[in-house]
Structure formats: C-alpha cells, structure tokens
Amino acid sequence: MITTPLTKNVHEDRRVVLVEDYEANGGYQGARKSITQMTPSECLQVIKDSNLRGRGGAGFPTGMKWSFVPMDNVSPGHKYLVCNADEMEPGTFKDRLLMECDPHQLIEGMICGSYTIQADIAYIFLRGEYVKAAETLSQAIKECYAKGYLGRSIMGTNYSLDLYLHTSAGRYICGEETALINSLEGKRANPRAKPPFPQVSGLWGRPTIVNNVETLCNISHILDHGPEWFQELGIGEDAGTKMYGVSGNVQNPGCWELPIGTTIREILEVHAGGMLPGYSFRGLLPGGGSTDFLVEEHLDLAMDYGTIGKAGSRMGTGTMIILDDKTCPVGMVKNLIDFFAHESCGFCTPCRDGLPQTAHILQDMSSGKGETRDIETLERLVKFIGSIGNTHCALAPGAMEPLQSAMKYFPEDFERHAEGKKCNYCETD
Amino acid sequence: MPTIVIDGKEYEVPQGENILEACLGLGLDLPYFCWHPAMGSIGSCRQCAIIQYQNPEDERGKLVMGCMTPVQDGARFSITNEAAASFREFIIESLMVNHPHDCPVCAEGGECHLQDMTVMAGHRDRRYRGLKKTHRNQYLGPLIHHEMNRCITCYRCVRFYKDYAGGSDLSAMASHDHVYFGRHEDGKLESPFSGNLVEVCPTGVFTDKHLVNDYTRKWDLQSAPSICPGCSVGCNTSPGERYGKLKRVHNRYNPDINGYFLCDKGRFGATYVNSEKRIPAVGRRSKDGLFDAIDSSQALTAIAKGLSTSKVIGIGSPRASIETNFALQNLVGQQNFCTGISETETALVSACIEAIKESGAKIPSPREIERCDAILILGEDVTNTATRIALSLRQAVRNEAYNMAEGLQLQSWQDAATRNLAQDERSPLFLASPHATQLDDIAEGIFNLSPSNIAHLGYSVASLIEGKKDDAATKTDANDYGNIAEALLKAERPLIISGTGVTDTSVVKAASSIASALVAKGKETYLSLIYQEANTLGITLLDQGQGPSLSNIFEQGENNNIQTLIIVENDLYRRAAKHKVDKLLQAADQVIVLDIMDNETCTQADIVIPASSFAECEGTLINFEGRAQRHFPVFESKHPCRPSWEWLTEIGKLSSNKNMLEWQCFDDINKACSESSSTLTGINEVAPDRKYRVGGRKIPRQPHRYSGRTAMVANLSVHEPKQTDDTETPLGFTMEGHSGDRPGELIPFVWAPGWNSNHSVHKLQTGSEGELKGGRSVVKIESKNLIQSKQQVKSVSQNNDQDHFIAVAMYKFFGTGELSSQSPGIIELCESESIELAIEAADKLGVSNGDGVTAHGVNGAVDLEVKINDSLISNCVGIIQGMPGAANINPGEGLSLTRSENWVRRSEIISSDQLGSKNV
C-alpha cells in the first residue's frame, strides 16, 4: 500500500521526475480513470467521501467547496480551476518541493479537478520567485499537450482543457484566493468581498475553484485508490498525509510527508532531529507566520486541524517555525508584523494603517525605546485588527495571531521591552 | 418594507438598502468614507461598523460593516454599542496616523468630511508616536490641485474617475500604507468629469485650484441656487461668492438631472464672471471711435427716443434667459424680434420639436437615461455637447450588469461584486458619428459615417423595426442594422439620442422615425434631442417661428430698412459669416448691444450696456427636456451692471410701451411671459416668487457662520453696512432667515449640524439618491404644447463631387462654449482653431499637422490650421464650432480645400516654456 502518495516519486537528489517515470509509476491513472470511466458527479462524491481538507491553511473540505460550483448549463460560458501556487507564508516551502520535484502530479490533479467541476480552462498561479518550479511546470505542461493529457479531446473523450502557467508579480496577498483572482485578471491584488464566492462569481465573473498545490496533488491518488484508502492514511480525525515542515534552530530543518495527525513532538524530535546544541525550545508557530504560538505543553498534540484549533492556534500550512531561548519573541514578532504590514494590499483601514502602527511600537520596543503604555496599546490593536470581520480579509487577523499569543505566553519579554530595558537578543541601539 | 431594530427602536426601512443607507435615511448619524450614494459600497474604510445581533436574546452581537450589510426584516443593530463605537474611533485614529494637521491651511477645512467624521467618531488622543508618511504631489492641470499627504485611502476618487466616469488616467498605485492616487506622470486629468473629485474626495487631496489660489472658506461664501448656463442639460449648481467675485461652483443635488455630479465646464467654466473683459460701464462711441462712459439714464433716454421714431430690430439670444428675450420681444414687437440663432440651427431645432411631437416618444431626464437599456446615438457628440448626459449613458450601459447581479441576488449597491461579475458585459449602445467620440469605449457598435449616411442608417433601422425589408442596405450593413433594431426591440426602455450637433435635419428626422417605429411596437421609447445652448429650446418656443430669421435681418439691413438694432447677449460673429454681420452692423444707424463680456459685436456697437451674468441675476432657462428652471442671483451686480431684462424694461417704460409699463419686478415679467402663450404656461411656477416666506422669513444666502462682515469693508468704514434688501427673490443677502426644509429650487448651499461638507445633502433627502424633503417643483413644457417654428431653410448647396469635402461640425469640450472659454483655467485648456482632416485628405493636399489650408465655401475663403484626425471619414472635414473662423463655414456645405502657401506655422513651444506654464 502506498503510504506517501505525494512524495513517492521524489528522487533523493531532487531532480525532476520525468513524464515517462511518472507514467511508469502509476501516473495519469487517476486522470484516465476519472475522465474515461466516471461522471463528474461520481468524481465529486469520491472527493467528498475522502474527507480531503484544503492544504492551503484554512482546511476547508475540498469536496464541499467544489459542490458549490453550478453544474447546470443555465449560464453557458467558461469555468475555471486555479491552482494557488503563490506559496508566500513565512516558513513554508512544501508546495515548492512538490512542484520542483514532481510537476506531473500537480497537473494530473488539476486535470481531475477540472473534469470534476467541468472547467475548461485552468491556471497555475505560481510565486514569481519559484523560477525552477516555473521551468519544470512549463516543461511538464508541454509534455502533457504532446501526450494528449491537455488540449482538445483529452484521452479520446470529448472533454477539453487548457492549462496555463502564470508567474506572479509577487505579493503575499495573492495567496488570498480572491486577491489571486484579481491579480490574474490584471487588476490590483485586493481581496474581494464575499459573498459572492468565487465558486459562483470568480475569475472574469465566472464560476472558479481555487485550490492549493498540495490539495490538488492529492486528487489523482484519491480517484485512483479510493476514499477509504485515503482515510486510512491519516492518524486522527483527518484523512491523508500532510507535508510537514520545520524551520528554526533545529538539527535537521526540512519538509516530510507524514500521516496527518502525527504529533508535534515526533515531527520536531524525530524528523527535525530536535534542537541544535546550545538552544532550547521555547515555542513554535505551527503553520506559518500567521498562526498563534504553541509552547512546551502542546508538544504532544496531534498536528491536525481540529486538535491544533482547540489548542488556540491553527494548523495553517503545517510548516512550523521554532522559537528558541536565544531569540527574543518580541523581535521575532516584530519581524513578522513588519512583513505583514508591508504585504497589506492597502485596501482596508485596520490592516493598512493598523499594522504599521503595531510594527512601529514593536520597533520601538525591540530597540529599547519601549514605553509602559505600549502593552496596552498593543492589546488595543490586537482587539481591533485581530478579529475576522473587522477587516476586509484574513491577512491582518492572521498577522495578529503570533503577536497576541506571544503576549500571552511570553509576557515577561514584552514587559522587559516596555520598560525600555536592554534585551540580550534584540539589537538595540 | 422591512422593519429593523436599531438601538432598541423599531424602524421601517426601504427594501434592498444596506444598513448604512438606511441609517442615514432615518436621520441617524453613522460615520462613513468609502460609500457614496451614487457609487455604492466596497467596504474598504471600515468606518460604518455597527453591531448586528442574531436575535433578541443575543447581547454580544457581531461587528459588521453597515455599507456591506443588507437590511432584512427583523434584523437588530446597535450604533451606540461600545464595541462598535470604540472600533469606529480606532478607525479614525488609524486614518489620522498619516493625515497632516494642516486643517488651518487646507482648502477643504470647514467643509471636510474627514473633519466631520473625526468629531462624530470621537477620536481625540493620538497614540502613534512615529513620523507621518509623505508623498510627492502631482501637477494635474489648471483645474485641480493635488495634495496627496491628506489622503485617507478611501478609494472614492478612482472609483468615481475610472469605474463611474470611465476615465483612464487616474489610478491607485503602490500598496500597503503607500497607496498613491494620481496619474502615471504629471499632466492634466483627461476626463471631462475630473472636477467631481473635488467633491467626491472626503478630504483635501483634490481641491478646486481656482478656489485654492483665491481662497474663501465655505462658511464665508454667499451662495444661491443656480442653473449651469454651459449647455442645454441645465445642471443645478451652487456657485459661491465673496468680495464680489465668483469663487467656485459646487454641485446642487437634483435627482432628475445632475444628481451628485457636474462636468468640468459647468464647475470651472463660470469664473468668466470675474473677468476683466466684463463690460464696465454704459458706453457710447465717440467720434474718435472709442467708448465714452456715459450716464445710463442718458443712454436709455436716447435709446427710447430712437425706438419710437425708427424701424427697430431686436436680436435675442439662446444663452439669455426667457425673461430677457421676452422683454426684448415686447420692446420691439414679435415681428421685429429675431432669436439670433442661425437659420441652419433654427431648422434643426424645428426638426427636433417636430420629432418630439410626432414620434410619441418620451423625453428622458438624465436620471431616466440611466435606466434605459439599449441606446442608439445618431450623430450627436454627447460628451462635447451635453457632457453630463455622457455620464448618465455610462451608467445606462451598466443595466446589464445589474440584471446579472440580480440573478445572484446581489444588490445593486454591491459595487465591486457587480463589476467583477459583469466584467465587460454591457447593455447595448450603438454610435453613429463622422468621427471617433469619447463614448466609443462603451459602445457595442460604432458606425463612422457622414451625416447623410447616418440618416440613412437611421431610416434603415426604422424600417427594420417596422418589419420592412431594407433593400437599400448592403448585406453587411443589413446585418449591423439588424443588430441595432433587434437590440432596441429587445430592450425594455430603448433610447434614441440625436440633436442639432450633427447639423443635418435628416438625421433628426431619422431619429424620430426610429422612435415612432418603436412606439408603434408598443415600446416604452425615449427620445433625447440635444441643443446647442442653455436656452436654445426656450427662445425657440418663445419665438414660435413668428419673428424674422437672421438672414431676413441681413436682407433688411442690405435694403437699409433698419435704423436701430438692439442685440442682447449675442455675439453675431459666432452666428453668421463675418462679411454678412459686418454689413448689417454698418447698415444700421444705431447699434445697441447689451452684453456681459466684451466681444466682436460690441466693437461694432454705438451704445454698449453692461448686463449681469447668470450669477448676478434671476432668470429662467429651458433645458433639452423642455424643463424650465430658475437661477437666482448669487451676489449683487456691480454698478452699473443690471440684468438685461431690467435694462430692457426700463427702456420700454421710457418709450411708453404699454405691455411693459406695469412690470415692476422680475416676477411681473415672468408672469406676463407665462400668460403670453400656452407653450410657456407654468414658467411662473418654476420657483416660489419674491413674496415667498417661511414663518415670515426669507431664505439666507449666507451660512450662519459667515464671518468678517464688518471687516470686509473696514477700509471704507468701520460701521457694519446694512445688508442689501433683496426685493426680487425669496432669498436674502444675509445669514438670517429660514434654513429648515426648503423647496429644492431654493437651496443655496447644503449644511446640517455636524455635517459641514456636501455630504450633508443626505439630511435634505428622503433617502440616498432620493427626493428632497422640502419638495421640488418640476415644470416641463408638454410636448403637445410645443409649437414648431415655421421657418424652413433652403438646403445648402452641396458639392459632393470628389474635389469637395463635406464640412462637419465638431465640438470641443473646452473651446466651443462662448463664455466658459473665457474662464481662468479653462482658457489654457482651449484648443486652438483648426480644421480636422482625415489622413487621406491631408495626404492628398500635401499637408500635415500645423500646416494651413484654405477652405473655399459659399462665404469665401478661410485659412485654417490643419489637425489630422485619423478617425474622421475621408470625405469629411471637421470644423470646430465656436471658433472665429467657424461661423464662415456652414456645416454640411461642400468645401474645396487648397494648401495655404502663405501659412506661417506656429512656433513650437520650447520645453522651458512648458515648465513655465505648469504653474502649480
């Protein structure tokens, strides 16, 4: 039984998997099976039954997302499937591995997904800096057209699909699906207000599904091996495997495909090899820069959506950033807030003007110019910026997650800085 | 209507609104920035946050944005809830992080929405201790001043400029807290609606450059309800004055016509009122040819004497009020009163009136135009001749988007969502014109045709609507025309637009036949016909085709039948060929000119009398719909200037004219005019008369904070002078009086407690984009009462052989208007006079841009500068109307062109000159 479907083809030396090798290893079987033997609604049912949840960060059930796409022909016109490959979450590099090493897996997933929602055009919205992925994907798309996996009458059926690679001009907010759509249309990458949801009115106003790379990579395997197989891959409530990553001062930073629900401790201590000598663990951001800190007491929790959510954080992208005892949490949060303030699209007030205020206070604090009232001001900013609904999209609330949890778990560091005292680890002038 | 609960109180609110709109409609204060009643919601500023409760038991509630939350029956909200109030305060605090503290020197101060909202939201203490972000400002042309540091990033400017008005040279650039609103480089904003940025911007980023350079606070401006005299649309305006100078023009809300927006000519084209070219005194030409200022009574007596002893002809004007023209008509008698409109134009206006009477179609207001869902424009260059209507047309083509949105249960105020859904889907608009127009970007079909072929297209479409086969059309034409007919038939409210602009009566007749055909098919059909000037329709209706035509006057002049010629507010050199006007003015023994500004006709006058401008006198104008509207004096005329109707009445009294003896005031003239013919019945109901009072009080022209009244004349006297009594109108030159609900036609400026900016207009409305609480009189001339002129012109001899070009009238937004072109700011935007040629024509003549050609026509030869217009069809040449040479060429006539060998090209401006002209 395949236990690591996503990385089973990946070579040790990370050279790209060629189309012949991909096919030889069971590639394009999922696509062939679905397009030639299954109806779109049957495919949808399989995905629903598999309990696959979106791997981009929010964990929304993929089958349910797809089921919102109108399948009648009341309004004829294009439908779109868009792959969100704009991987810009701080500390996250899982999609990069999948695309650079095994591009056909993503394309096959997109063919299956497009067929399921009956999309006739698909896009890969790729982070501009992923130059190598752009090369491997372009080559793979070319091969697919040559082999008849893309284009007119795929695999002899009357289903047709065109797939385009779009390399992003580069902004974090393009990872937000509606901002991505605006960007793809050539507009400012501002998120759109919902409703209407993209499933109904997305790219060019037409029904559109936007999925993360890792989500789409799972599709062909699920269709090929069935939902039960997929369910069994996971350890806890969630199904499948997950690309977990660890960065920070650990022995062996990296990215591994593990059963979803593996504990944090196993990922950190077994796969990442534990902390580097001389460093000890203080906390971690479980799923990228925009998730709440977890600490020592959480290490035995399973890394799945429900468990991490209950602990007050989010699984996010599943790629952790480790905070050690020789790094100041105030400085680390300042770094993150600087990033998010800079990546704000500038559309709504709390994000555009609130994040820079936050960044400014953290700058003052980390450079020894903190004032006692700063903690209260930060709490106020967290309160107003940090709630979904107060802002136009989830960027600013996400940005506030590491700050609010750092203030909760590491109050002594914030107090020290608020008194204008010197910090051993922050660069003070 | 849904019932909602706000802070424990039940309210009934209109179905389909959002909760912000509903709150404002109920008179509840809720601060906002990015929402605009005409542009809908996008949810960017987050200022209108309120609490929504799930049910009566829910005590915590959820923070929602008022502008993005639809009202639903039973929904419960709180504005005063602490969580919402403190969030709104936080939003202002955040906006203020980078906003400069320059209110005392900011042109927006005192009418700034940001100031109002800051006070309303309660922000006082600043926590941020860093530096403010700063930007570089841009030169945006002579009309608009740019001060980017004041920006609060509400996106209203680009939403208006690009989304609403179709402009392309203003964008949001960069991101995070560096978002910049401007052009890609310094330069004049291209949209003819750019001036609305001044009012759309909630703070002082875009301000009126004329006002900035000669500044007065809103509270120190004296204003009056006025009507824009710039074209036949009749937008409602609110001009403001101080120290005897017109400082600025603001929009005056009229739900039928201009709504919230004006065009730039209307907004910036009125400051000619302050011009040094105003006629300063009553003058008589002395023997040496110069004017001597004389006492007005002396002049009037002399004129009156001449009236009783000689043959007198009066020439009125389509830019003067009904009352002025009526007074002149009474003074000289109907048989001696000429409208002063050229014969070609008179014939066109007659054709328009006939079209309205005979087609049975409705004449739409601009607001009704916005609801039309299929449009055909025949010949009229709407953006240049009736600019505000072009903005309405841009909204009309969005009806398809609203239909699509309805399918997804999206309310029309969901602006971004509706635009994203519809993308480029538009309701059909077809355009036929001899050249490219500024509406081409929203047209489904564009037909570049000569005027006679435009008429042909029109007739073909009419036949197709009637179900007849059109044999004359070629196969491709038949397809195209079929599409037009089909789209018009499919529409719920089809609209045909034409007018006098294309100067071909057959085009107007073709428009009429399409409208008739649609009416016959039972369609709710609209027909909109555009005229050249503010009162063209009015004076035509007054004349009723009874008076002599302009060429008849020229003939009388040639036969030496005219002793006295009274010309009122009309520069004849713009109406007819120079040699004809010269001859007429020389033939008359005495030429008397009443006008506002010096012009070529004045230079030939024996007596010149200074007339008040629209901003200094009362008057009634009839717009393209036949809607009569009143403008009131904003400030007193400078001595010895007086309204033309007043001068003429006085002359009438001196000459014992029995009709005029009883006229004591404006209302008497207006009433007499209303009673004079069934057509003009009702123009005395356009606005309340001078006796109108509320609780015994008049309507003040000055806000209650009007300051420095004593200081204004302190150089002359330290005693406060008594305010002038206004005996002519219901308004007072004072800050005292009634400022509650007033009829719409008597609102000089908008203000409400806590709302100092123009946003206060919602306090006077019954809902966003709604009717005014104080009511509004709507007087429209009924089409059954229209009497068309009997005059018919002999058709202009057309030389349509290969060596001749058809002269086509062209209009320039800046330049064609007689008076607006003399307003500071606009002067430098006016294009120079030229003849526009297609590339093929230019090649044939061997000329390029800047060379000269001599145009030989019925009035002789005229030398004109060449401007190549590659959108023109090759057998037509464009003659820019309103320029000195243009009157010598009749639109429609065949011209033979030769290269002008003696032409001297204008020297190129060197770059340092250009820098000098960019006087920021």
**Digit-coded pLDDT (tens) for B764-782:** 998 888 899 988 989 988 7
pLDDT at B884: 79
CA distance B82 to chain A (A): 13
pLDDT at A427: 66
- Identify the domain boundary among A282, A307, A324: A324
Domain range enclosing B349: 319-354+533-686+777-794
pLDDT at B919: 46
Q: Whole-model pTM above 0.90?
A: yes
Give yes or no for A70 touching B (CB within 8 A): no
Question: Does residue B405 carry a pLDDT above 50?
Answer: yes
Q: What is the CATH number of the domain that holds B906?
A: 2.40.40.20
Asked whether residue A265 falls in the same domain as residue A343, the answer is no
Q: What is the mean pLDDT of residues B5-15?
A: 96
Q: In this structure, is residue B698 part of a structural domain?
A: no
Q: What is the mean pLDDT of residues A2-14?
A: 94
Q: CB distance B176–A171 less than 8 Å?
A: no
Percent of chain B with pLDDT over 70: 96
Q: In this structure, is residue A10 part of a structural domain?
A: no
Q: What is the CATH number of the domain that holds A379?
A: 1.20.1440.230
- Identify the domain boundary among B794, B822, B837: B794
CA distance A287 to chain B (A): 24
How much is the mean pLDDT over chain B? 93
Q: In this structure, is residue A129 part of a structural domain?
A: yes
Helix (H) or strand (E) run with residue B461 in it: helix B451-466
* ipTM of this complex prediction, to 2 decimal places: 0.96
Give yes or no for A120 touching B (CB within 8 A): no
Q: In this structure, is residue A427 part of a structural domain?
A: no
pLDDT category at B700 given cuts 50, 70, 90 is very high
Asked whether residue A227 falls in the same domain as residue A162, the answer is yes
Q: What is the mean pLDDT of residues B876-885?
A: 90
Question: Does residue B796 carry a pLDDT above 80?
Answer: no
Residues of chain B numbered 130-149 and touching chain A (CB < 8 Å): 130
Q: CB distance A360–B62 less than 8 Å?
A: no
Q: What is the CATH number of the domain that holds A36?
A: 3.40.50.11540
Residue of chain B with shortest Cα separation from A198: B421
Q: CB distance B172–A188 less than 8 Å?
A: yes
Asked whether residue B663 falls in the same domain as residue B789, the answer is yes
H helices of B534-637, in order, are 536-543, 550-558, 578-587, 600-603
Q: Which residues of chain A neighbour B51 with C-beta distances below 8 Å?
A: none
Asked whether residue B667 falls in the same domain as residue B813, the answer is no
**Digit-coded pLDDT (tens) for A155-171:** 999 999 999 999 998 89
pLDDT at B415: 97
**Digit-coded pLDDT (tens) for B315-326:** 999 999 999 999
Q: What is the mean pLDDT of residues A60-81?
A: 91
Residue of chain B with shortest Cα separation from A338: B176
Asked whether residue B600 falls in the same domain as residue B656, the answer is yes
pLDDT at B883: 85
Helix (H) or strand (E) run with residue B19 in it: helix B19-25
- Identify the domain boundary among A255, A289, A324: A324
Q: In this structure, is residue B739 part of a structural domain?
A: no
Asked whether residue B329 falls in the same domain as residue B398, the answer is no
Asked whether residue A39 falls in the same domain as residue A148, the answer is yes
Query: Backbone phi, then psi, for B799, in 5-degree steps?
Result: -95, 95
Asked whether residue A184 falls in the same domain as residue A252, the answer is no
Closest of A383, A366, A374 to residue A328, by C-alpha: A366
Residue of chain A with shortest Cα separation from B127: A377
pLDDT at B580: 95
Asked whether residue B542 falls in the same domain as residue B637, the answer is yes
Q: CB distance A188–B44 less than 8 Å?
A: no
Residue of chain A with shortest Cα separation from B407: A75
Q: What is the CATH number of the domain that holds B625?
A: 3.40.50.740
- Identify the domain boundary among B507, B524, B541: B524
- Tell the residue number behind the tokens 């419960």, with chain if given: B76
Q: Which residues of chain A neighbour B423 with C-beta distances below 8 Å?
A: 204-205
Reported residue count of chain A is 429
Asked whether residue B596 falls in the same domain as residue B577, the answer is yes
pLDDT category at B474 given cuts 50, 70, 90 is low
Q: In this structure, is residue B366 part of a structural domain?
A: yes
pLDDT at B288: 83
B179: Cβ contacts below 8 Å, ≥ 6 apart: A346, A352, B151, B153, B172, B173
* Residue of B132, B420, B424, B426 for testing the chain A interface, max A β-carbons within 10 Å: B420
**Paired tokens of B458:** 């029109």
Asked whether residue A161 falls in the same domain as residue A304, the answer is no
Q: CB distance A344–B175 less than 8 Å?
A: yes
Q: CB distance A196–B421 less than 8 Å?
A: yes
Asked whether residue A273 falls in the same domain as residue A380, the answer is no
Asked whether residue A149 falls in the same domain as residue A250, the answer is no
Question: Does residue B917 carry a pLDDT above 70?
Answer: no
Question: Does residue A425 carry a pLDDT above 90?
Answer: no
**Digit-coded pLDDT (tens) for A359-405:** 999 999 999 999 999 999 999 999 999 999 999 999 999 999 999 99
Q: In this structure, is residue A3 part of a structural domain?
A: no
Give yes or no for B903 touching A (CB within 8 A): no
- Identify the domain boundary among A282, A299, A324: A324
Asked whether residue A144 falls in the same domain as residue A205, the answer is yes
pLDDT at B769: 84
Closest of B47, B23, B19 to residue B33, by C-alpha: B47
Asked whether residue B781 falls in the same domain as residue B860, the answer is no
Asked whether residue B672 falls in the same domain as residue B610, the answer is yes
Q: In this structure, is residue B365 part of a structural domain?
A: yes
CA distance B95 to chain A (A): 7
Contact A379, A371 (CB under 8 A): no
Asked whether residue A78 falls in the same domain as residue A153, the answer is yes
Residue of chain A with shortest Cα separation from B83: A384
Asked whether residue B347 falls in the same domain as residue B365, the answer is no
Question: Does residue B794 carry a pLDDT above 80?
Answer: no
Q: CB distance A347–B63 less than 8 Å?
A: no
Question: Does residue A104 carry a pLDDT above 60?
Answer: yes
Question: Does residue B908 carry a pLDDT above 70?
Answer: no
* Residue of A194, A349, A376 for testing the chain B interface, max B β-carbons within 10 Å: A349
Indicate the DSSP class of residue B164.
I
**Digit-coded pLDDT (tens) for A220-256:** 999 999 999 999 999 988 999 999 999 999 999 999 9
Count: domains in chain A: 3
Asked whether residue A295 falls in the same domain as residue A358, the answer is no
Q: What is the mean pLDDT of residues B367-391?
A: 97
Asked whether residue A33 falls in the same domain as residue A83, the answer is yes
Asked whether residue A252 falls in the same domain as residue A213, the answer is no
Helix (H) or strand (E) run with residue B312 in it: strand B312-315
Closest of B762, B761, B764 to residue B775, by C-alpha: B764
Q: In this structure, is residue B141 part of a structural domain?
A: no
**Digit-coded pLDDT (tens) for B187-196:** 999 999 999 9
**Digit-coded pLDDT (tens) for B719-762:** 888 889 999 999 999 999 998 889 999 999 999 999 999 999 99
Domain range enclosing A374: 329-418
Q: CB distance A346–B91 less than 8 Å?
A: no
Asked whether residue B604 falls in the same domain as residue B457, the answer is no
* 3-state SS, one letter per residue, for chain A: CCCCCCCCCCCCCCCCCCHHHHHHCCCCHHHHHHHHHCCHHHHHHHHHHHCCECCCCCCCEHHHHHHCCCCCCCCCCCCEEEEEECCCCCCCCHHHHHHHHCHHHHHHHHHHHHHHHCCCEEEEEECCCCHHHHHHHHHHHHHHHHHCCCECCHHHCCCCEEEEEEECCCCHHHHCHHHHHHHHCCCCCCCCCCCCCCCCCCHHHCCEEEEEHHHHHHHHHHHHHCHHHHHHHCCCCCCCEEEEEEECCECCCEEEEEECCCEHHHHHHHHCCCECCCCCEEEEECCCCCCCCECHHHCCCECCHHHHHHCCCCCCCCEEEEEECCCCHHHHHHHHHHHHHHHCCCCCHHHHHHHHHHHHHHHHHHCCCCCCHHHHHHHHHHHHHCCCCCCCCCHHHHHHHHHHHHHHHCHHHHHHHHCCCCCCCCCCC
Q: What is the CATH number of the domain that holds B369?
A: 3.40.228
- Tell the residue number behind the tokens 């799945």, with chain if given: A304
Q: In this structure, is residue A177 part of a structural domain?
A: yes
- C-alpha pair distances (Å), B492 with each of B13, B467, B484, B518: 28, 19, 14, 11
Count: domains in chain B: 4
Q: What is the mean pLDDT of residues B400-407?
A: 96
**Digit-coded pLDDT (tens) for A163-195:** 999 999 889 999 999 999 999 999 999 999 999
Q: What is the mean pLDDT of residues A278-298?
A: 97
- Identify the domain boundary among B768, B794, B820: B794
Residue A294, class by beta-carbon neighbours within 10 Å (0-12 exposed, 13-18 middle, 19+ buried)? buried
pLDDT at A420: 85
Asked whether residue B476 falls in the same domain as residue B335, the answer is no
Indicate the DSSP class of residue B80.
S
Residue B262, class by beta-carbon neighbours within 10 Å (0-12 exposed, 13-18 middle, 19+ buried)? buried
How much is the mean pLDDT over chain A? 95
Q: In this structure, is residue A424 part of a structural domain?
A: no
Q: In this structure, is residue B105 part of a structural domain?
A: no
Give yes or no for B67 touching A (CB within 8 A): no
Question: Does residue B920 carry a pLDDT above 70?
Answer: no
Q: In this structure, is residue A414 part of a structural domain?
A: yes
Asked whether residue B584 falls in the same domain as residue B513, the answer is no
